[in-house]
Amino acid sequence: MRSMSKSKKTVLIVDDEEDLTWSISRSLKRDRRALAVLCANSGDDALRLMEKKAVDVLVTDLRMPGKDGFDLIRFVRDRDLDTRIIVMTAYGSEDVEKKVLAANCCYYVEKPFEIATLKEKIYAALQEGDGCSSGPGGGMNFQIRSLLTLTRDVPDLMVSVYRGKRVGRLYLSRGRIYHAEVGEKQGQEALQEILAWPQGVIKASTGVSSKMRSISKKYVD
Confidence (pTM): 0.61
CA nearest 69: which of 111, 31, 128?
Answer: 111
The lowest-confidence range among 52-61, 146-155, 158-167 is: 146-155
For the CA atoms of 62, 63, 67, 70, the dihedral, rounded to the nearest 10 degrees, stands at 30
Omega cis (within 30) before 155: no
**CATH architecture for segment(s) 9-127:** 3-Layer(aba) Sandwich (3.40)
Does 103 score more than 70 pLDDT?
yes
Mind listing the pLDDT tens digit for each residue in 54-77? 999 999 999 998 899 999 999 998
Residue 210 vs residues 45, 75, 113, 157, 214: alpha-carbon distances, Å: 43, 40, 21, 9, 10
> Which residues are paired to 108 by β-bridges?
87
Tell me the C-alpha distance between 123 and 2, whole Å.
10
Confidence at residue 100, expressed as pLDDT on a 0 to 100 scale: 75
Does 29 score more than 60 pLDDT?
yes
Confidence at residue 128, expressed as pLDDT on a 0 to 100 scale: 57
Sign of CA dihedral 212, 215, 217, 219: negative
Residue limits of CATH 3.40.50.2300 in the chain = 9-127
Q: Give the strand pairing for 84-89 and 107-110.
A: parallel
Confidence at residue 1, expressed as pLDDT on a 0 to 100 scale: 38
Tell me the C-alpha distance between 220 and 104, whole Å.
24
